Structures are given as C-alpha cells and as structure tokens.
Homo-oligomer: A and B are copies of this chain.
Amino acid sequence: MNVQAVGCACSVIMTAVLSNRESMVNSLRSVLLICGAIVAGSACAQAPITLKSMGSFHIGGREVTITGKPVKEVTFTPGGVPAKVDPNGVYQVEQMYVQYFIPQNARGALPLLMWHGGGLTGVTYETTPDGREGWLNYFLRKGWAVYNSDAVERGRSGWAMYPDVFTSEPLFLTKENPFERFRIGAGKGSYNKDVSKMKLKPGSQFPAEGYDNFTKQGVPRWTTTDDAIIRAYIELVDKVCPCVVLIHSQSGSFGQKVAQARPDKVKALVLVEPAGTGDPKLAGNLRNIPILAVYGDYIEEDPRWPTIRGNELKFLEQVKAAGGRYDVIDLPKIGIKGNSHMIMMDKNSDQIAGLIQDWLARQGLYK
C-alpha cells in the first residue's frame, strides 16, 4: 500500500463518517480507529481530488462601439414577451475565459497554465474523448495548480461580430478534416463514420471509438485573431504567473511569443506539437526558460509536419545559440509509437504526461 492509497482510504472513511452526522466525539473516535486499522488494510482504486479552491474568471479584451444599425424587436423565447434590442452601442470583445483548480496539497512549485490548439477549447485537457481522465486531472492529482483557458473567440470566451470586429470569416472543420490532418487516419479518404471502417495509421494510439466525441469538442475559429489572443494570454500571465506554460499546436506560437514578452514570468515552456514558433528576432528572450518540445509519431510521412517540426527546431537552435536550452522528445525515438497530434487524448496519454511531469521535476519545479 502506498501513501496515496492510505490518504484515499482515510478520506473516504472520514467523509462517510461525517455524513452520518453522529455526535462529534463518536465521529472522531471512528475516524481514529478506522484510520489506524488502515495500516493493515484496504486501499481504493482512485484517490479523491482535494481542492483548496476552484473557480473561473474572464480576462482581457476591449470595448468596440458599433453605430448606424437599425433597432430590432427580438422575442428571446418563443411565446415570450418581445423586447426592443438596439444593436448600436458598446460591445465587450476579445476577453478570455480561464478556469482554475487549486489543489489542497500543492506540489507543483508554480501554477501550470494549459493552452489548447486551434478550433478547440480547454476541453482538450479534460476527460479524453473515450472517457478517461485527461491531463488536467493528471497534473491536478500530481499537485499542480492548473489554469485551463479557452483562447479568445473560442468556447466560453465568446466571439464578436464579423466583419464589424473580426476582419475575416470563421473557419469550420468537417468531421473528416482533423482525422486526416492530425495524423490519426491513414491519409486521404481514411475517415469513416463507422469506427470499424476507419483506416487508422498502423499502430495508432488515438482512441478511435472516441473520435466522434472528439469532433463534438470542435468550435469555429478565426485565423485573424492571433494578436488579440496573445494580448489576452499576456494579461493572464501578468495576473497568475510566475508559472509553467504548456501549449498544444496553434498555441505554440502564442506560448513562445508570450514568454518572449514576459521572460521573467514564464519559468518553463512545454510545447506539445507546436504548430508555430516564437519571434526569431527575440529568440534570446527565451534563454533563461527551459523548453521541452514533444512530438508524436508519423511526422516524416506527413505532408506538413516535417516542415512544422523543422521550423520549431530551427527556432530552438536560435534560442540555444543565444544561451538558452531545450529538450526534444520525439516519442518514436524513445520507443513510444503510434501517437497522433492529439497526444493528450491518445490511449497512452498518461504515459506522455508522466514524461512531462518527470521533465518538470528535473527543472526543479516540483516539490
């Protein structure tokens, strides 16, 4: 029996006892007796998650004034009472949603900020599409305070009128698009609604039975909102850091550029398949920030990923030349095969989280 299992069993018993609302003396006597008995006894499958606090906030954004539009009469609820809605006025736009979980037993030296990829939200790090605990729970259970956000115009951050505020149209993805582009399916035409007919990459770790659920996590996105997103992330860093920033895919450029803007606040960068780099002219700004880049399988056979990975490694070499340091984990090179672009959802997601956890500990960021 390990220490965590004892904590679990004691806590279960304590809550069970307290829920009985016996007299306090009896309750405590029971707890003491049973906790004592645990030395010789049982454990539980999964320890509870004990939080000091949890909550959310929005950060950043700006106000935009819209003029010259006609007043509308809107019935918000069918059968309801119509209300006049004047679309002219001041709008709140480009704010960002952040949800946080602070463990009672903090072991991460700093908060861990999780930034998702394009067309997705913070849901990326929650339960995996096939129902296992995601990286949010993994790192929370390890004792990290986790701040999980939805980038500007994604999810709970809301989005703004176009072309009035955003200058381009939103981008929607078909169900088959990520299947092919995220190195899950074996090329063009590999997607099929019927899981048994999907053509997966040989040895794929993506939980194919959860693919349909994964597509439900998708949200529209713009490709012209990077500056607004970076502004909001910088405000987040100013509010809750020093911290560790863990990014995925699209937020690769966000994480590295924000760290370049706040090199004193970002104490480590974990780049999970970054799709973009930092600003090469400011490479030296990252010289004091340890960086880990993690890549999955099937990179070489992909039409885009050799270039994307190559650009990142070139950038990291510039950081190194300026006095920085970085580590790259190419999972297949250490014998871990089959990972898609969605590493945090793959069947071996906990194993990869463990590699990141170990790297963070080696940077002295774990108590």
Contacts and interface: CB of A to CB of B under 8 A. Distances in A.
Contact of A91 (B88, B137, B150, B175): B175
A81 B304 contact: yes
A156 B123 contact: yes
Interface in A88-122: 88-92, 95, 97, 99, 104-107, 118, 121-122
Interface string A169-200: 00111111100010000000000010000000
Interface residues of A, number: 111
22 contacts: A3-B21, A7-B15, A15-B50, A15-B105, A19-B143, A32-B36, A35-B35, A49-B53, A55-B134, A56-B126, A57-B213, A63-B175, A74-B171, A76-B250, A77-B118, A77-B226, A81-B304, A83-B181, A86-B174, A87-B172, A92-B215, A155-B156
Contacts of A121: 156
A94 to B, nearest CB: 10
A223 B127 contact: no
Interface string A143-162: 10000001000011011110
Interface stretch (A22-30, A236-244, A331-339, A353-361): A22-30
Nearest to A227: B78
Instruction: State the number of copies, please.
Output: 2
A12 interface: yes
Contact of A28 (B38, B66, B220): B38
A179 to B, nearest CB: 11
B177 A89 contact: yes
A61 to B, nearest CB: 6
A92 B177 CA distance: 12
Interface of A: 1, 3-4, 6-7, 10-12, 14-16, 18-19, 21, 24-25, 27-28, 31-32, 35-36, 38-39, 46, 48-58, 61, 63, 66, 74-81, 83, 85-92, 95, 97, 99, 104-107, 118, 121-123, 126-127, 131, 133-134, 137, 143, 150, 155-156, 158-161, 171-177, 181, 193, 212-213, 215-220, 223, 226, 250, 252-253, 275-277, 304, 307-308, 311, 367
Give chain A's interface secondary structure class: mixed
A107 B10 contact: no
Contacts of A31: 10, 35
Contacts of A28: 6, 35-36, 38-39
B172 A91 contact: yes
Nearest to A276: B77
Contacts of A52: 48
B104 A48 contact: yes
A24 to B, nearest CB: 6
Nearest to A92: B215
Given A57-B131, A122-B156, 17 more contacts: A6-B18, A6-B24, A11-B11, A15-B104, A25-B39, A48-B50, A48-B51, A48-B104, A49-B53, A51-B51, A55-B126, A74-B171, A77-B252, A78-B276, A89-B175, A91-B172, A160-B172
Contacts of A77: 118, 226, 250, 252-253, 275-276
Contacts of A220: 158-159
A153 B333 CA distance: 42
A89 to B, nearest CB: 3
A347 B58 CA distance: 19
5 closest Cβ pairs, A-B complex = A89-B174, A15-B105, A58-B216, A55-B127, A77-B276
A164 to B, nearest CB: 9
